[in-house]
Amino acid sequence: MKAVESEFNKILNRVLEEVKPTEEEEKQVMEVVEDVISILKQELTQKAGVEEISLEGSFAKGTWIRGKEEADIFAQFNPRVDRETMASLTIKAGKTAVEKLGGFARLRYAEHPYVEGIVKNIQLNIVPCYRLDKGWKTAVDRTPHHTKFVKSNLTKEQRDQVRLLKALLQASNLYGAEIRVGGFSGYVTELMIVKYKTLENLLKHATTWKPPVVMEITSTNVDRVQIIRKFPNSPLIIPDPVDENRNAASAVTLQKLSEFILLAKLFIEEPSSRFFHRSEGHHPVVGSRNILGVFFEIRESKPPDILWGELLHSLNGVTKALEVAGFKVWRYDAWSDEKTVFMLFELEELELPGFYLHKGPEVFRETALGFVHKHVKDERTIAGPWVSGNRIYVLKKRTLTKVDEVLKQALQRSSVSLSHGLKRYVTEGAVIIAGYSNVISFADEHGLRSFVEGFLCGRPSYIDALKHMP
Amino acid sequence: MKAVESEFNKILNRVLEEVKPTEEEEKQVMEVVEDVISILKQELTQKAGVEEISLEGSFAKGTWIRGKEEADIFAQFNPRVDRETMASLTIKAGKTAVEKLGGFARLRYAEHPYVEGIVKNIQLNIVPCYRLDKGWKTAVDRTPHHTKFVKSNLTKEQRDQVRLLKALLQASNLYGAEIRVGGFSGYVTELMIVKYKTLENLLKHATTWKPPVVMEITSTNVDRVQIIRKFPNSPLIIPDPVDENRNAASAVTLQKLSEFILLAKLFIEEPSSRFFHRSEGHHPVVGSRNILGVFFEIRESKPPDILWGELLHSLNGVTKALEVAGFKVWRYDAWSDEKTVFMLFELEELELPGFYLHKGPEVFRETALGFVHKHVKDERTIAGPWVSGNRIYVLKKRTLTKVDEVLKQALQRSSVSLSHGLKRYVTEGAVIIAGYSNVISFADEHGLRSFVEGFLCGRPSYIDALKHMP
């Protein structure tokens, strides 16, 4: 420890006061957890195959942050127990425990079922898994090993560094491995602090990163080329110290890794507590913004990761369809409460010119004559065919020029690549709204003004704050 | 010869009647030529160093076509004579000859001076050159060898095939090596018939060409790769049989070679005499065509090849400047009577959107932070900066959006690449006219309607005819 506290650490210590739970808060959670574990032990350990009831996750690791009072309790089964038995035993016991403590329980599914309960404002996830050291049978079988690894590799001070990192990522919308975010999971933040010891050191290193970034946690003698070959298409590769065949950071998108690099550069350049707070109140430049909105309802309930996977795919599909028609799509984003969806696109123009240039084959291709004959007498040919360089061109008339008409026709013709799970909601039910003021009116009617304004500003929180600084 | 005349030959024979001079016409030219040569011999052969007076060019070779009554008469000097003496002797004698025969003479310059005279409606070019077999001192020293080569390698029937080829190229605006055209010279048409014997055979081969095209006239065992390396950037390479280090077809542009290939395909597909006639009377589709006109005067006299070289360069320069500003230029062309110039451009739009997407650096570049700081507080920033993929973007406001304003500003700022010889005429004097109806009014005032209509149709003659066929 340095004798004189650095400016950087002064800022972090102030922030830590906001994000680190107090001993009192910790005690409150711990009491509930102990009660749950005690009931689960009574309910389960007599049963054949239940080997341990354990506390896992960020609470176990001492890396959770205030406002996220949540504990994961795992029932670890002998691998010979079949899945159905394991699930039904845990569900029954979990419900019993939550209800005995006066809470409310419901069944949830990630890869397999678990019980989510709220007891005294604390969220409890009661999850069954197999007790295994390798040859995992379910995705959560690794969790107890993750907990163990992090606990034995992070000092008390480093746990606080994890908390600061999590708070920083949350404020910047980079936290969370869910598809909607595509960011950094809690485990990845812990591994990064295991590797770099402090937030400052991590950020300093991040300013020099260039994707793909390879981060080996336990060894330093890494064959970068081989690891990249093993995890192709991963912008961030952190081999899981608990299972080297898995990239612990596989959820992180190039987008989010790049944002983290830029955030690190801005932070290191001028450390400030502002990076830990979301900028509020967007003041977008409006005027003749060329905005297209697509709104639809989803008449079924889907797990969020499924829905957001479909949404991102469909956003891309609409963008591609607009581009094929001749529009330039500059930006897009989607909002959803998992019942309705609002997609926004900003385009260069909402109406295309009446004519377009159609590029034909090179004169020496077999198709050259066919192209000339096809177009020379066509009613929609405005000029040409002519030769430029070695290629034939023709100027053609457009039938539809307005973006909403173009999109409606493309949807009717099924020429928009939509994910199967959303297709009928979009094709049959989408409201298509072109133009800035129409989109604003629609957003106001549906309480979506804030999403639209954030979109129009088009700045992540860590950049938006810069704009409003003196 | 086939017993039954082919459809192809029937057409050619009909066309030949139009384009081949009669014996009477030939006799008229010959009489004048003989008189001129006779006078030149009297005037020049006593003088030291004049070794021969010869008839050259298409008349000598029997490949000229009707309507082009023109004869080249060369005074061939001993190489020891200096250039000035050679020029002054030829000019004096040439003028004397033309005037003695009641004609009108004037001095012209190609690479060096010569006399152009009109006698009895026949154009005479009286040209001095050195009599050399190699190691040419002036560009025209090769000409007597070209004449000799063609005369000894073309039969009477083949000379008629050359006439047909020339007529075909003329009708299609592909004839002539001058920069304005960038097409096939008379000598190149002759060499192509030496190679392929008949027009039909040449066209059949041309349908299979893919640039670069290598055509060896005398040998058949050609090292294509080596020749292409010797004449890089030449789409058509015909090593001159009189001087293997020269590409006889160096003037032919990719554009014109490609047009010839397409013309050949259309002709072979459906042979017709229409290919020998220019299509007349354009009926362009008008409507909201996005046309930009640039008109200026040239207050000096320049040789046409110089002027057209400068014009083509400047057309390109204006196009590039418009593209840099964000416009899409689909087509352009220029007209000139060598005193005034009218450039036409057809664009996707005459007015750009008020905003544009500005692509910044990738986040891991050193310039990333500078880009963010520069744009985040800039008044013209409409949205962003944001990260997409691994790159930073920002949406900016345009100051000028109208094409005429943009071009005027670019000219003022000297950011348009204009040829030096035209720069001040364009920068100080150009009239810039945006919009279809404004351009039409301007064209009508200046008698340029036909050029504008041809431009709007945008079809070469050999394709335009197709449009009006049943």
Are A376 and B265 inside 8 Å of each other by CB? no
* 3-class DSSP state of B378: coil
User: A330 touching B, CB under 8 A?
Assistant: yes
Q: Quick one: closest CA in B to A356, which residue? A: B348
Which residue, A295, A323, A282, A290, is CA-closest to A406?
Answer: A323
Distance between CA atoms of A137 and B243, rounded to whole angstroms? 82
Q: Where are the alpha helices (DSSP H) in B117-181?
A: 143-153, 156-171
Distance between CA atoms of B183 and B64, rounded to whole angstroms? 17
**What CATH number was assigned to the domain covering residues A291-351+401-467?**
3.30.70.590
Element of type H or E holding A269: helix A254-269
User: In this predicted structure, what is the pLDDT of residue B439?
Assistant: 95
Report CA-CA distances (Å) from A359 to A57, B219, B316, B349: 58, 39, 20, 18
- Within chain B, what is the greatest distance between any pair of CA atoms? 86
Are A389 and B254 inside 8 Å of each other by CB? yes
- Averages of pLDDT over runs of 10 residues in chain B (470 residues) are 70 93 92 93 83 93 87 93 90 92 83 85 92 88 95 96 96 94 97 96 97 88 87 95 93 97 96 89 79 95 90 96 96 95 96 95 97 94 95 95 96 94 93 95 94 92 81
B331 forms beta bridges with B346
Which residue in this structure is represented by tokens 């060898």? Answer: B145
In chain A, residues with a C-beta closer than 8 Å to the C-beta of B376 are 459, 463, 466-467
Q: Kindly report the number of other CB atoms within 10 A of residue A3's CB atom.
A: 4
Angle formed by the axes of helices B156-171 and B254-269, nearest 10°: 110
Q: Annotation-wise, does B425 bind a ligand?
A: no
Q: With the C-alpha atoms ordered A76, A82, A87, A88, is the resulting torsion angle positive or negative?
A: negative
- Which CATH superfamily includes the segment(s) B21-150? Beta Polymerase, domain 2 (3.30.460.10)
Which two tokens mark B251?
A: 């003037």
Q: What are phi and psi of A252, to 5 degrees?
A: -70, 120
Distance between CA atoms of A226 and B129, rounded to whole angstroms? 73
In which residue ranges of chain A is pLDDT below 50?
Answer: 1-2
User: B468 touching A, CB under 8 A?
Assistant: no
Question: Which part of chain B has CATH 1.10.1410.30?
Answer: 154-276
Distance between CA atoms of A439 and A266, rounded to whole angstroms? 33
B284, B369, B382: residue with CB nearest A285: B382
Give the HSE-up count for residue A217: Cα atoms under 13 Å, Cβ half-sphere: 26
DSSP-based helix, strand, coil % in chain B, nearest 5: 45, 20, 35
A382 class by beta-carbon count within 10 Å (0-12 exposed, 13-18 middle, 19+ buried): buried
Amino acid identity for residue B283 in this structure: H
A426 class by beta-carbon count within 10 Å (0-12 exposed, 13-18 middle, 19+ buried): buried
| Fold of the domain built from segment(s) A19-150 | Beta Polymerase; domain 2 (3.30.460)
Which two tokens mark B5?
A: 């005349």
Report CA-CA distances (Å) from B152 to A233, B65, B133, B190, B218: 69, 20, 17, 12, 13
Distance between CA atoms of B68 and B59, rounded to whole angstroms? 10
ipTM computed for the complex: 0.90
CB A57 within 8 A of CB A114: no
Which residues, at least 6 apart from A310, have a Cβ–Cβ distance to it below 8 Å?
A302, A419, A420, A421, A422
Test the A interface: residue of B172, B266, B346, B382 with most A CBs within 10 Å: B382
Are A385 and B463 inside 8 Å of each other by CB? yes
CB A76 within 8 A of CB A41: no
Q: Quick one: closest CA in A to B470, which residue? A: A377
Amino acid identity for residue A164 in this structure: L
The nearest CA of chain B is from the CA of A316 a distance in Å of 13
User: A331 touching B, CB under 8 A?
Assistant: yes
- Which CATH superfamily includes the segment(s) A154-276? CCA tRNA nucleotidyltransferase, domain 2 (1.10.1410.30)
Q: Quick one: closest CA in A to B374, which residue? A: A467
User: A315 touching B, CB under 8 A?
Assistant: no
Give the HSE-up count for residue B266: Cα atoms under 13 Å, Cβ half-sphere: 28
Distance between CA atoms of B32 and B27, rounded to whole angstroms? 9
In chain B, residues with a C-beta closer than 8 Å to the C-beta of A467 are 376-377
Computed over its alpha carbons, how large is the radius of gyration of chain A?
Answer: 27
Are B463 and A354 inside 8 Å of each other by CB? no
Q: Looking at residue A20, what DSSP letter applies?
A: S
Strand arrangement of the beta sheet that strand B431-434 belongs to: B329-336, B340-347, B291-297, B431-434
Question: Which part of chain A has CATH 3.30.460.10?
Answer: 19-150
User: In this predicted structure, what is the pLDDT of residue A111?
Assistant: 64
Question: Which part of chain A has CATH 3.30.70.590?
Answer: 291-351+401-467
- Torsion region of A63: left, alpha or beta (phi above 0 gives left; psi -120 to 50 gives alpha): alpha
CB A262 within 8 A of CB A317: no
Distance between CA atoms of B384 and A282, rounded to whole angstroms? 12
Amino acid identity for residue B40 in this structure: L
Distance between CA atoms of B193 and B187, rounded to whole angstroms? 10
User: In this predicted structure, what is the pLDDT of residue A1?
Assistant: 45
User: A382 touching B, CB under 8 A?
Assistant: yes
Are B209 and A328 inside 8 Å of each other by CB? no
The nearest CA of chain B is from the CA of A350 a distance in Å of 10
Hey, which residues 392-451 in chain B have their CB within 8 Å of chain A? 392-393, 395
Distance between CA atoms of A132 and B205, rounded to whole angstroms? 75
* 3-class DSSP state of A75: strand
Q: What is the DSSP string of B22-79?
A: PHHHHHHHHHHHHHHHHHHHHHHTTSTTEEEEEEEHHHHHT---TT--EEEEEEEEPT
User: In this predicted structure, what is the pLDDT of residue B71?
Assistant: 92
The nearest CA of chain B is from the CA of A386 a distance in Å of 5
Are A384 and B357 inside 8 Å of each other by CB? no
